[in-house]
């Protein structure tokens, strides 16, 4: 059914989506890690998470650090990406998975920036449509699906990669359409580079004309 032609526009409701987030987690001890590899183990604390007050969780995730401590901080605040809190209260995963998850999402981000071509995230979504507090909400089973919906609900033309090649957090969602740099420090970097380039191209000429003028 084509919703637009069969339904009055003002009768449509927005559906919000959420996932369970927040865990008690810890790094495996060196002794445990010797047996099963470096990892994180934890339990879900499970509160409904509807997104950050500002920005996308996805944007944070693709820029997040990959040291053991960084990973632990993300997992405590939000959770592991593909482990559903509905299956069990607990989870454990090898730290090497983090790199796989980030690479997957950084590749997707790059694809999103690559123009309006066809794009498929995944053929099925895991979640439950619930009617709560007078409205429908889609409660998804894992943070990976949550971020997928975040990406789908966002203006695709605003997914960017910072034009500063040395940028440490280069994935950004542009607040203004013309933004090419993620933050002020990278804008400053680009202005310095432009100045350097100007001097390289014009410095000799400029010095010559200055020396010609001086007595």
Cβ-Cβ contacts under 8 Å for 137 (sequence gap 6 or more): 15, 16, 17, 18, 129, 130
Alpha-carbon distance 70 to 72, whole Å?
Answer: 5
CB of 162 to Zn ion, least distance (A): 3
Judged by CB under 5 A, how many residues of this single chain contact Zn ion?
A: 5
CB of 171 to Zn ion, least distance (A): 9
- Applying CB under 5 A, the span of 43-51, 69-77, 122-130, 155-163 interacting with Zn ion comes to 155-163
CB of 161 to Zn ion, least distance (A): 9
Binding mask 170-189 for Zn ion (x = CB under 5 A): ------------x---x---
Work out whether 167 is an interface residue with Zn ion (CB under 5 A): yes
143 in Cβ contact with 78 (< 8 Å): yes
Nearer Cβ to Zn ion (155/166): 166
Alpha-carbon distance 42 to 186, whole Å?
Answer: 37
Alpha-carbon distance 42 to 123, whole Å?
Answer: 29
| The two three-digit tokens of residue 95, written as one number | 């730290």
Alpha-carbon distance 64 to 168, whole Å?
Answer: 10
- Applying CB under 5 A, the span of 14-22, 70-78, 96-104, 165-173 interacting with Zn ion comes to 165-173
Nearer Cβ to Zn ion (120/184): 184
Work out whether 164 is an interface residue with Zn ion (CB under 5 A): yes
Phi, psi of 14 (to 5 degrees): -80, 145
Nearer Cβ to Zn ion (141/164): 164
Work out whether 162 is an interface residue with Zn ion (CB under 5 A): yes
Nearer Cβ to Zn ion (43/158): 158
Alpha-carbon distance 68 to 27, whole Å?
Answer: 8
Which residues are at the interface with Zn ion (CB under 5 A)? 162, 164, 167, 182, 186
């Amino acid at each position: 059914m084509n919703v637009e032609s069969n339904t009055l526009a003002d009768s449509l409701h927005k559906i919000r989506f959420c996932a369970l987030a927040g865990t008690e987690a810890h790094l495996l001890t060196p002794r445990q890690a010797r047996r099963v590899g470096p990892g994180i183990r934890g339990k879900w604390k499970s509160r409904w998470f509807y997104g950050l007050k500002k920005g996308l969780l996805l944007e944070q995730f693709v820029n997040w650090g990959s040291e053991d401590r960084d990973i632990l901080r993300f997992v405590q605040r939000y959770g592991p990406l593909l482990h559903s809190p509905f299956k069990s209260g607990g989870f454990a995963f090898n730290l090497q998975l983090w790199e796989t998850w980030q690479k997957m999402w950084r590749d997707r981000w790059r694809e999103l920036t690559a123009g309006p071509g066809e794009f498929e995230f995944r053929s099925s979504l895991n979640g439950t449509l619930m009617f709560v507090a007078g409205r429908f909400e889609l409660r998804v089973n894992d943070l990976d699906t949550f971020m997928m919906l975040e990406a789908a609900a966002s203006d695709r033309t605003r997914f960017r990669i910072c034009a500063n090649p040395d940028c440490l957090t280069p994935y950004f969602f542009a607040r203004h359409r013309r933004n090419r740099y993620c933050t002020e420090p990278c804008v400053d970097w680009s202005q310095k580079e432009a100045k350097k380039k100007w001097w390289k191209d014009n410095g000799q000429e400029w010095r010559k004309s200055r020396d010609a003028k001086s007595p």
